[in-house]
């Protein structure tokens, strides 16, 4: 195997800077390794596994001869001889650990701090000592079902008893239902007011979704009105909770100024990267409880790490038997929304187990119209093939009068893509959809902010309270007739701003699967390119498919789909091992 360097200038600069002491041929070697580390971090890995690259051939841009890296012993020796490389515990720009993992110092420190904080919290027993009272409470909240195995009840028990717990499950497995019951249980246990609980999610959209679920589920809790009223209804973004500081990567809340909460619950935790998760756990009070909710099978965070996945795997690993992380993770696997036999549920299971053949069989089953597979059309045929799903999917919102109706109806259908650019990427699809809708007379795409243009915000704007991932629609103000960008607020109301004030945004008929994390739509058309690429992974396919509540159509060639389902995203990190110490 040879390693391709898609070296960015930043990787080269970092390597030059960190390898100042290294000269001549060994200097080229260590500079290359450090460049590879920087590149790996850019791709989402936390560290570089030297075992994996030892003995491999590296092609370096601008250098004719490829470089063969030495075997692991010599490679480790070469790196250890550098003044910039230290061992764990030392304060050097690069850290080489005992397992041959090379880190940028910052990431090593994050990983170590996160593992230590989680282990300490996992070892913390927080539950009420009154077992009989606890059993009575749990029976009230979780009416035993015929299966005899109630994972939701188990998840709640863990959340009540331990300082750290994780609830992982796909859409519709009852994560939100369980969280709301945990809220009721926690508040009951402590007599309501004394328990200070914060709820957060990585994006504004995910926060809004959780807030509205809590509002609708709270009334059904089997507790007193008094307890119901103390159930918190606010969900914030993690950045807001921690308090961002302009032009700094630090937060207002940290170990010296901890968050004033007894329990912090984080939804959509698979989207949280290593630096942010570390910032969050280090900002908790020593006795505070942390509950993470998410889907371990989804795409990992955009930035470095796969924290939720690593935690879940650590809890399952054989080594965890003697560690505090054992028993902290509950996986919910029963689909209450569709039933386990539904097409989308069965398809997600086949994909998660890497069984592409079964997934293709399910997709081809004519008896199930909720899931289907069609070959990706050639570039020239894309628009023709899009016409029917696009007109059907987008007509209702474009014909709606009131902004709140348009926003609600827009959630019915979305095109998700694997790629950002190109004819099968979000950019190409958006262009094709715009043209189709324009030709059909459903919109007039003659100005940037035409009536009906859906926009997806791509950065956080604290002034206008718009966040990365928020989706709005340009519509005329009923009173003035001027175009405005309308957004659904977390409380269910609609608000608007003049389109000129919009932060960075893109058109949103189609969006990448990455951007769709934290959202769900009734029907989804997911588009894979006709050629296989390394970006197509099992996690990407699973995440895209599970965005659909009712029906999914997949455009993909069978070979491309199979290759993708078999390809797992592996993010290098040492977190799993550090958690089971
Ligand atoms: N134990 C249960 N018995 C019966 N129905 C349940 C149970 N748990 C959840 N449900 C129902 O299943 C549906 C999905 O539950 P919920 O929204 O809590 O799942 P979720 O995992 O949070 O899904 P998503 O990730 O899509 O938000 C809801 O309609 C809920 O009422």
Residue nearest to atom 6 of ligand 1 (CA): 336
Asked if residue 202 has its Cβ within 6 Å of ligand 1, the reply is no
Q: What is the pLDDT of residue 191?
A: 60
The predicted-structure confidence for 198-228, as pLDDT tens digits, reads as follows 999 998 888 888 998 999 899 999 988 888 8
Q: Rounded to whole angstroms, what are the CA distances from 78 to 26, 29, 520, 570?
A: 7, 8, 50, 27
Least confident of 388-392, 419-423, 472-476, 568-572: 568-572
State the average pLDDT over residues 118-122: 93
- Cα 536 from Cα 116, distance rounded (Å): 34
| Distance of CA 367 from the midpoint of ligand 1 (Å) | 26
| Distance of CA 363 from the midpoint of ligand 1 (Å) | 25
This prediction has a pTM of: 0.90
Domain ranges across the chain: 2-99, 112-337, 343-566
Q: Detail the residues annotated as belonging to a binding site.
A: 169-176
State the average pLDDT over residues 540-558: 96
Does position 10 have pLDDT exceeding 70, yes or no? Answer: no
Residues 6+ apart with CB under 8 A from 223: 184, 187, 188
DSSP 507-539: E-SEEEHHHHTT--EEEEEEE--SS--TT--HH
Ligand 1 nearest atom to the CA of residue 150, by list position: 1
Q: Is the pLDDT higher at 460 or at 521?
A: 521
What burial class does residue 264 get, using C-beta atoms within 10 Å of its C-beta: 0-12 exposed, 13-18 middle, 19+ buried? buried
Least confident of 142-151, 179-188, 392-401, 451-460: 142-151
The predicted-structure confidence for 128-147, as pLDDT tens digits, reads as follows 667 888 888 899 999 876 66
Q: Which homologous superfamily is 343-566 in?
A: P-loop containing nucleotide triphosphate hydrolases (3.40.50.300)
| Distance of CA 267 from the midpoint of ligand 1 (Å) | 14
- Cα 345 from Cα 267, distance rounded (Å): 21
Residues 6+ apart with CB under 8 A from 524: 413, 414, 415, 416, 544, 545, 547, 548, 551, 552, 553
Instruction: Tell me the pairing of strands 67-68 and 483-488.
Output: unpaired
Ligand 1 nearest atom to the CA of residue 213, by list position: 17
Does position 255 have pLDDT exceeding 60, yes or no? Answer: yes
Q: Is the pLDDT higher at 319 or at 290?
A: 290
Q: Detail the residues annotated as belonging to a binding site for ATP.
A: 169-176
Highest mean pLDDT among 14-18, 37-41, 469-473, 552-556: 552-556
Confidence of residue 148 (pLDDT cuts 50, 70, 90): low
Residue 136 CA from chain centroid, whole number = 36
Looking up tokens 């020593």 gives: 286
Residue 60 CA from chain centroid, whole number = 33
Asked if 294 and 305 count as a contact pair (C-beta separation under 8 A), the reply is no
Asked if residue 336 has its Cβ within 6 Å of ligand 1, the reply is yes
- Cα 361 from Cα 171, distance rounded (Å): 22
Ligand 1 nearest atom to the CA of residue 336, by list position: 12
Residue nearest to atom 13 of ligand 1 (CA): 337
- Cα 173 from Cα 472, distance rounded (Å): 28
Of all residues in the chain, what percent carry a pLDDT higher than 70? 92
| Distance of CA 150 from the midpoint of ligand 1 (Å) | 13
- Cα 6 from Cα 38, distance rounded (Å): 11
Looking up tokens 């009334």 gives: 219
Confidence of residue 1 (pLDDT cuts 50, 70, 90): very low
Does position 515 have pLDDT exceeding 70, yes or no? Answer: yes
Find the helix or strand (DSSP H, E) in which 543 lies: helix 538-545
Asked if residue 177 has its Cβ within 6 Å of ligand 1, the reply is yes
DSSP 308-373: HHHHHHHHHSGGGGGSTTTT-EEEE---TTT-TTSHHHHHHHHHHTT-HHHHHHHHT-TT-TTEEE
Looking up tokens 């958006």 gives: 430
User: What rounded mean pLDDT belongs to the chain?
Assistant: 90
The DSSP output letter for 220 is G
The token duo for 506 is 């893109």
Q: What is the pLDDT of residue 6?
A: 54
- Cα 291 from Cα 163, distance rounded (Å): 8
| Distance of CA 179 from the midpoint of ligand 1 (Å) | 10
Q: What is the pLDDT of residue 3?
A: 57
Residue nearest to atom 5 of ligand 1 (CA): 336
State the average pLDDT over residues 56-82: 84
The token duo for 184 is 């009721």
Q: Is the pLDDT higher at 441 or at 462?
A: 441
State the average pLDDT over residues 436-449: 94
Q: Is the pLDDT higher at 495 or at 133?
A: 495
Q: Is the dihedral of CA 439, 444, 446, 449 positive or negative?
A: negative
Of all residues in the chain, what percent carry a pLDDT higher than 90? 66
- Cα 478 from Cα 567, distance rounded (Å): 50
Ligand 1 nearest atom to the CA of residue 173, by list position: 21
Residue nearest to atom 15 of ligand 1 (CA): 174
Q: Is the dihedral of CA 265, 266, 269, 274 positive or negative?
A: negative
Looking up tokens 């059309």 gives: 377
- Cα 239 from Cα 258, distance rounded (Å): 14
State the average pLDDT over residues 9-25: 64
The predicted-structure confidence for 296-347, as pLDDT tens digits, reads as follows 999 988 888 999 999 999 998 887 666 788 889 999 988 887 766 789 999 9
- Cα 417 from Cα 117, distance rounded (Å): 37
Asked if 177 and 152 count as a contact pair (C-beta separation under 8 A), the reply is yes
Ligand 1 nearest atom to the CA of residue 177, by list position: 18
Ligand 1 nearest atom to the CA of residue 180, by list position: 18
Phi, psi (deg, nearest 5) at residue 560: -65, -45
HSE of 427, CA atoms in CB hemisphere, 13 A: 5
Please compute Rg for the chain using Cα positions: 25
Write down the CATH number for the domain with range 112-337: 3.40.50.300
Does position 459 have pLDDT exceeding 90, yes or no? Answer: no
Pocket test for ligand 1, best of 153, 171, 177, 180 (most atoms within 8 A of CB): 177
Residues 6+ apart with CB under 8 A from 470: 204, 205, 456, 457, 487
């Amino acid at each position: 195997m040879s390693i391709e360097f898609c070296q960015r200038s930043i990787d080269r600069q970092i390597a030059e800077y960190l390898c100042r002491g290294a000269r001549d041929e060994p200097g080229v070697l260590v500079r290359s390794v450090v460049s590879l580390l920087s590149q790996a971090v850019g791709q989402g890995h936390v560290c570089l596994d030297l075992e994996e690259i030892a003995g491999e051939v590296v092609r370096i841009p601008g250098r004719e001869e490829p470089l063969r890296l030495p075997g692991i012993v010599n490679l480790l020796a070469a790196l250890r001889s550098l003044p910039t490389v230290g061992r764990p515990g030392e304060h050097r720009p690069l850290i080489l650990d005992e397992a041959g993992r090379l880190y940028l110092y910052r990431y090593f420190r994050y990983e170590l701090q996160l593992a230590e904080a989680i282990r300490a919290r996992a070892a913390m027993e927080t539950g009420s000592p009154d077992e009989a009272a606890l059993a009575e409470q749990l029976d009230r909240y979780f009416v035993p079902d015929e299966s005899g195995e109630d994972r939701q009840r188990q998840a709640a028990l863990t959340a009540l008893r331990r300082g750290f717990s994780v609830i992982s499950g796909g859409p519709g497995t009852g994560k939100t239902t369980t969280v709301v019951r945990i809220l009721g249980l926690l508040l009951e246990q402590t007599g309501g007011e004394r328990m200070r609980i914060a709820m957060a999610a990585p994006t504004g959209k995910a926060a809004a979704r959780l807030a509205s679920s809590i509002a609708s589920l709270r009334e059904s809790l089997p507790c007193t009105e008094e307890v119901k009223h103390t159930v918190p209804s606010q969900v914030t973004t993690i950045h807001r909770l921690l308090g961002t500081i302009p032009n700094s990567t630090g937060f207002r809340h940290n170990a010296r100024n901890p968050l004033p909460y007894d329990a912090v619950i984080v939804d959509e935790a698979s989207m949280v990267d290593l630096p942010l998760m570390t910032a969050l756990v280090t900002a908790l009070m020593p006795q505070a409880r942390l509950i993470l909710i998410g889907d371990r099978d989804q795409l990992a965070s955009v930035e470095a790490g796969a924290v939720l996945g690593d935690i879940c795997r650590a809890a399952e690993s054989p080594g965890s038997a003697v560690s505090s992380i054992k028993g902290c993770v509950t996986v919910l696997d029963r689909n209450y929304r569709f039933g386990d036999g539904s097409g989308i549920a069965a398809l997600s299971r086949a994909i998660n187990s890497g069984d592409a053949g079964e997934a293709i069989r399910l997709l081809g089953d004519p008896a199930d119209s909720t899931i289907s597979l069609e070959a990706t059309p050639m570039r020239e045929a894309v628009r023709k093939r899009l016409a029917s799903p696009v007109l059907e999917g987008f007509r209702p919102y474009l014909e709606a009068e009131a902004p709140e109706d348009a926003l609600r109806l827009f959630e019915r259908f979305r095109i998700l893509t694997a790629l950002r650019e190109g004819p099968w990427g979000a950019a190409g699809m958006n262009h094709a959809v715009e043209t189709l809708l324009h030709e059909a007379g459903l919109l007039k795409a003659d100005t940037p902010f035409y009536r009906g243009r859906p926009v997806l915000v791509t950065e956080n704007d604290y002034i206008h309270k718009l966040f990365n991932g928020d989706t709005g629609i340009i519509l005329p103000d009923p009173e003035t007739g001027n175009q405005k960008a309308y957004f659904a607020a977390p409380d269910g109301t609609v608000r608007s701003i003049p389109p000129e004030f919009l932060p960075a945004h893109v058109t949103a008929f189609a969006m990448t699967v990455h951007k769709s994390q934290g959202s769900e739509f009734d029907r989804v058309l997911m588009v894979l390119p006709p050629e296989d690429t390394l970006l197509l992974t099992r996690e990407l396919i699973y995440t895209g498919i599970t965005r659909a509540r009712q029906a999914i159509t997949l455009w993909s060639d069978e070979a491309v789909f199979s290759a993708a389902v078999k390809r797992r995203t592996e993010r290098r990190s040492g977190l799993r091992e550090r958690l089971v110490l």
